Amino acid sequence: MQRAINVETGPQARLLMQCELSVLRGDYAAATPGLEQLPPGFYGYTFSASGLLIDCLVHQKDWSGLLELIAVLKQSGDTQKGRNPATLLMPEAIGLRALGRETEARETVERCQAIASNALAMKKYDEHWNHWLLAFCARFLGRKEEAYQQVRESFVNGDAAFLGWLPDSPSLQVFKPDPEFQAFLFDREKQNAGKRARILATEKSYQT
């Protein structure tokens, strides 16, 4: 990835890639200032600046900042066409629960569930992501068996792609204490080991 950063000529795209690398390394405090400089909804090759900033704010437990950002994003929208409107509701619910606003958190998750269920029925947006949204909602509301049925559907229908690269993404928080989900992550890690080895080998070839 550093090779791609070095050859990127667009200043905003370069900044986003630098911040993305910090997030992938788990250095959320280092990534935050740069992400805050980028316009809402600005997309790079993989992630949006706002999506990465949400990830950073959750890990830094800046719940008020998180809810303020989500309010802005709801108004401004996202430049990435076809973004699922339920996606922002996951970190919003996490922030509300962390602030002790449990009733609002549950209402937010119920809205997320309704949007994802409707999108799945209408075959709108990515099928695997709708299943992931439903899995998050079910687990957030304590319906564990239903949650893991949806997790399996998500993996079968394409997988929530970020799971192998952002293992601490906000929507994973409700699952991380579960032994069942640790088993899912372990299997995923084994699947990704070969991919990571090839990526590292490619990066080293550019350095020699």
pLDDT at residue 79 in the model: 46
The span from the CA of 150 to the CA of 146, in Å, is 6
Greatest mean pLDDT among 54-63, 148-157, 190-199 lies in 54-63
pLDDT at residue 56 in the model: 95
Look up residue 127 and give its two tokens.
Answer: 């099928």
The tally of CA atoms less than 13 A away on the side-chain side of residue 124 is 13
Q: How far is the CA of 82 from the CAs of 2, 32, 119, 120, in angstroms?
A: 29, 26, 12, 14
**Segment 3-57, tens digit of pLDDT:** 666 565 678 888 898 999 899 888 999 999 999 999 877 887 778 899 899 999 9
The span from the CA of 170 to the CA of 55, in Å, is 6
**What percent of the chain has a predicted confidence (pLDDT) above 70?**
84
Model pTM score: 0.83
Look up residue 137 and give its two tokens.
Answer: 């909602």
**Predicted confidence band of residue 139 (pLDDT cuts 50, 70, 90):** very high
Give me the residue label for tokens 């409700």: 174
The span from the CA of 12 to the CA of 16, in Å, is 6
